[in-house]
Structure 1
Amino acid sequence: MKKQICSLILGALVASLVFYSCSRQQEPAMVIPANTTAKQGTSSAATLAALDLMSGNPILPPFTADPDILYANGRYYIYTTANGPTVNEFHAYSSADLLNWVDDGVVFNLNNVSWSHADGWAPCVVARNGQYYFYFTASKKIGVAVGASPTGPFTDIGAPLATGLGTDPIDPMAFIDTDGQAYLYWGNTTLNIQKLNSDMVSLTGTRSNAKPSNYFEAPYVIKRNGIYYLMYSVNDYRNNDYHVEYATATSPMGPWTVKGRITAPNGNILGPGHNAVITRPGCSSEYYFVYHRRTSTNVNERQVAIDRMFFDAAGNIMPVNITTSGVIGITGSAPCTSPTPVANGIYAIRSKVNTSSGQGLYLDIPACGTGNADVRTWTRTNCNGQRWALTYQGNGFYKIISQQPNHKSLDLDACKLAVGTNIQVWDQLNNDCQLWRIEDAGGGWYRILAKASGNVMDLANGDPTPGADIRSWSWNGSDAQLFRFEAAP
């Protein structure tokens, strides 16, 4: 019904047209994936290599869907709906840094299952008892196979683990609670929840069918601060508005209170749904949201992507910013990232690029103007046009407001999302074009990323001349894209 065969076709990353609502005229433009475009005016090998510092979405080359993610032995593993002649071959893809993914090949084949050889959908893998348990859908039943490593080989237990209520008992997800009790969630339109025995291959206890009112499929559960978060997809996957919502409970079996929406189509990025979530090991507040989406009119040409997920101060999941740039690379040695690496306050924002005589260059409103204007660079002055108030908004992003008397907001010109869009100050508006993520790049330097486009603040062509343009660009790791926040009186 929902999963169709996904051909293993290598494809180029697809740029996305993204439209936002602004109070002024918009000029929708192409957003170029950050790992596919070199910085204009540069051609050095170092700059081109730096383009790989962002994962880029989609992250896997083939058309595939329904991802689950696991961290084990220093690597991240993504498992997706099967491909092959009868949708029978499950692959694993792995990465050490969320940037560079390799196909580990077929880790489980339904040809080796006695009770089904087709329609392998939506796997979930968990580690326990020194083993890895591979839960999967086949012929609209839930199975489980066991292996000694994240890439198997996995051996089926010889019979379906569960069918469950509802016409499509699919999409298994295993969750191990902090008290050690494991649960299995599954089902399309009907949500089935039941405890797993400690052997992880048999069910026990009473089955619950408590579900949020708008639940459709693809359950995924995490626990945070004693609260259970059930994420699930809404609408048929062929619907352009296939998306993820969530509900919360104080018990892993419900009842569930509907909280809100996590994803939405973004321009020509359609159907962002069927998700999994992982926290970076050792970084309990650093959440990564893995999901599938498509830009094709062919509803089966879905692709896997990854973006950051944040909670607000009240514990609500904030809507995920759907991007083409993806996430910054991480390794086990990299420090945990914080959504608030810079304290609220008033700062002068200095570029890592200096003038030819060694003077600092700062974000500046030309001629200390008070109207809407492009932002450029200048050497340090006492003008309020070089003083910026940072205020964290509780959703992973800051507002950056000029301290000129009219307090204009740092803004993407006309809400344009293309690489090369000018950065300006404009009347304060309630839109994503005036929200900025600040990420620690090390050594006291930061990159400043626009929520609306996923591109970063950039000194045009690395120009060391005062008065050079400040624009947005795809991330390439150059000094022109690094900034420091200096205390300003």
Structure 2
Amino acid sequence: MNRWAGDPRLRGPLTPLIAGAAISAVVALVVAVANACVPGSGRPEARPSRPAAASGAPVPSPAGTPGPITPPGYAPDRPVLGRPFADPSVIKVAGTYFAYGTNNGEAAMPVATAPSPTGPWTRTPGDGLARLPAWATTGRTWAPEVVPPRPGQASYTLYFSARRKDADVQCIGAATASSPAGPFVPVEGDPLVCPRQLGGAIDPASHIEPDGTRYLLYKSDARETSSIFLVRLSPDGLGIAAAPVKLIGHESEPVLVEAPDLVKRGGKYVLLYSSGWYFRSNYQTRYATAPSIEGPYTKAPAPLQSTEAYGRRIDGPGSADVLSDDTGDYLVFHGIIGYHGGANVNRGMYVAPLGWDGARPVVRGVPVRYEAEAGRLNGCVSALDRPNASGRKAVGPFDRDGCRLEVPVFAPTAGRYTVRTQYANRSGRDTDLELSVNGTAGAPVRLRATGGADWTSAAADVELGAGWNTLGLRRLTGQGQVDYLELR
């Protein structure tokens, strides 16, 4: 969650704009009015971007609760903010979503708003950060995180990283504001976190336990020893209450680890983080799980998001932030939208629905492959050795009535998905299969004749429920072999 957003102007001083205060006043008025319209409410709705830990995913919205607006043209693999908006984090206040990003050529902390997690997002004029504290210099204000007021508090808290004036290291500071739009005024004095012996600290991320205990996660910034740390905070979130604890290091990772985010799902703590270089295609989102907040954390074997996983539709996805509201979870992250030489890149903001298979996160928009041979096979469909197939196996031959394959698949959210069937059909004529969902006939799938060792695919759209579903393929005519099903 670090580094420049790509505009060379941001290397110079960034002066807060007077317009920021005006926007903040308008936002505060809107929040107050919205709050007054909610019966029995004495303060604005304010859900943390990183919610208090829970044993499972958010409870579904009650029947009749309106879902978020999905604007025309939205897709989970398209940026919702195409202008530079790196290291995004999002909160919801009184029905409006606020996003905060790393400095760019216009602001030390750019702010954007939307009526829905998926947009449309609009950049607000001005600067969300009134000024930097006395210890910091301008131009490297990275990875902001805003936490709404806790019970008994009146201020929004901002955590950010900035460069020290007297040392070539980044440190983490805090600021407060009466409005989610800012302008945030820094807490003066020493930085909140600044481990010089570890090369400084970046990428602050808040986590609050159900009992109100506050924590801050961060990355130690020295390249050779980059690690994710957790430190307990004072009740107001503005002081350190205990010694930091190392959660994970960069062992086995491409280059380093950074950009932490912590939630609790499926009875476990789930630590999301990034690895790789933020300015290269190898940047990716990974995760680790633990039975307790301090670990030990076990890293998942494969990335949650990567350039390859997206089929290169998103370049270098990372710096992920979990947003939770009454409609579910969303993953807010950035991807590279422009290269300008060396480490100078522009990164846009993306938002994708996020589901949970216990403690395993599943992101909408990342295609997931399910090998056919791992499904349930009946008597006339069996696993076949095929060296050119994915996993070196396929199933078939679907040459008799009643031949059927059933494959369990996981959908992160309810909705319409595309199922791509990878197959070979060397019978010399087309084959027709029926694609069903949870035992109900869905769409026809035609397997065109193929030649030699060629494999090709056919696609069909289906409606899936959130969670596990069963996709079935049943023979109608002809014969063929199925390599895998891919859910998009």
Is 1:161 equivalent to 2:192 in the alignment?
Answer: yes
The CA distance in 1 between the partners of 2:212 and 2:7, in whole Å, is 38
Q: Please say if residues 229 and 244 of structure 2, whose CA atoms lie closer than 8 Å, have aligned partners that are also in contact.
A: yes
1:147 match: 177
The CA distance in 1 between the partners of 2:81 and 2:158, in whole Å, is 20
> Could you tell me which of 236, 244, 247 is aligned with 1:207?
244
1:63–1:311 Cα change, 3 Å: same
1:64–1:406 Cα change, 3 Å: same
The CA distance in 1 between the partners of 2:246 and 2:330, in whole Å, is 28
| Cα offsets for 1:18-41 (capped at 9, x unmatched) | xxxxxxxxxxxxxxxxxxxxxxxx
1:123 match: 144
1:68 match: 89
Matches within 5 A, 1:161-310: 161-164=192-195, 166-187=198-219, 188=221, 189-212=226-249, 213=251, 214=253, 216-260=257-301, 261-265=303-307, 266-267=311-312, 269-279=314-324, 281-283=325-327, 286-298=328-340, 299-310=344-355
Q: Please say if residues 267 and 359 of structure 2, whose CA atoms lie closer than 8 Å, have aligned partners that are also in contact.
A: no
| Cα offsets for 1:252-287 (capped at 9, x unmatched) | 2222111242101032532111110112x223xx22
Quote the offset at 1:102 in angstroms. Answer: 1.4
Give the 3-state SS of the residue equivalent to 2:109 in structure 1: strand
> Could you tell me which of 345, 362, 372 is aligned with 1:318?
362
| Cα offsets for 1:430-469 (capped at 9, x unmatched) | 252xx2xxxxxxxxxxxxxxx1xxxxxxxxxxxxxxxxxx
The CA distance in 1 between the partners of 2:437 and 2:115, in whole Å, is 33
Q: Please say if residues 85 and 110 of structure 2, whose CA atoms lie closer than 8 Å, have aligned partners that are also in contact.
A: no
The CA distance in 2 between the partners of 1:8 and 1:224, in whole Å, is 40
The CA distance in 2 between the partners of 1:254 and 1:66, in whole Å, is 25
Q: Please say if residues 69 and 76 of structure 1, whose CA atoms lie closer than 8 Å, have aligned partners that are also in contact.
A: yes
Q: Please say if residues 2 and 236 of structure 1, whose CA atoms lie closer than 8 Å, have aligned partners that are also in contact.
A: no
Sequence identity percentage: 24
Q: Please say if residues 217 and 234 of structure 1, whose CA atoms lie closer than 8 Å, have aligned partners that are also in contact.
A: yes
The CA distance in 2 between the partners of 1:256 and 1:185, in whole Å, is 14
1:102 match: 122
Moved more, 92-101 or 289-298: 289-298
Q: Please say if residues 76 and 350 of structure 2, whose CA atoms lie closer than 8 Å, have aligned partners that are also in contact.
A: no
2:159 match: 135
2:108 match: 89
Letter in 2 for 1:137: S
Quote the offset at 1:115 in angstroms. Answer: 1.8
How many equivalent pairs are there? 328
The CA distance in 2 between the partners of 1:406 and 1:315, in whole Å, is 42
Select the structure that is richer in strand.
2
1:402–1:168 Cα change, 3 Å: farther
1:372 match: 448
The CA distance in 1 between the partners of 2:177 and 2:111, in whole Å, is 13
> Could you tell me which of 408, 430, 438 is aligned with 1:345?
438
The CA distance in 1 between the partners of 2:8 and 2:339, in whole Å, is 18
Q: Please say if residues 110 and 116 of structure 1, whose CA atoms lie closer than 8 Å, have aligned partners that are also in contact.
A: no
Q: Please say if residues 234 and 245 of structure 1, whose CA atoms lie closer than 8 Å, have aligned partners that are also in contact.
A: yes
Give the 3-state SS of the residue equivalent to 2:237 in structure 1: coil
CA RMSD of aligned residues (A): 3.6
The CA distance in 2 between the partners of 1:60 and 1:310, in whole Å, is 22
Matches within 5 A, 1:407-426: none
Matches within 5 A, 1:325-344: 338-339=413-414, 344=437
1:393–1:235 Cα change, 3 Å: farther
1:397–1:275 Cα change, 3 Å: farther
| Cα offsets for 1:150-177 (capped at 9, x unmatched) | 1112111113111135214101001111
Quote the offset at 1:407 in angstroms. Answer: 8.5
The CA distance in 1 between the partners of 2:158 and 2:479, in whole Å, is 55
1:50–1:248 Cα change, 3 Å: closer
The CA distance in 2 between the partners of 1:315 and 1:169, in whole Å, is 28
1:404 match: 476
Q: Please say if residues 438 and 472 of structure 2, whose CA atoms lie closer than 8 Å, have aligned partners that are also in contact.
A: no
Q: Return the TM-score normalized by structure 2.
A: 0.59
Give the 3-state SS of the residue equivalent to 2:72 in structure 1: helix
| Cα offsets for 1:166-198 (capped at 9, x unmatched) | 214101001111221110001131322111111
Q: Please say if residues 71 and 119 of structure 2, whose CA atoms lie closer than 8 Å, have aligned partners that are also in contact.
A: no
1:7 match: 7
Give the 3-state SS of the residue equivalent to 1:57 in structure 2: coil
Q: Please say if residues 288 and 309 of structure 1, whose CA atoms lie closer than 8 Å, have aligned partners that are also in contact.
A: yes
2:399 match: none
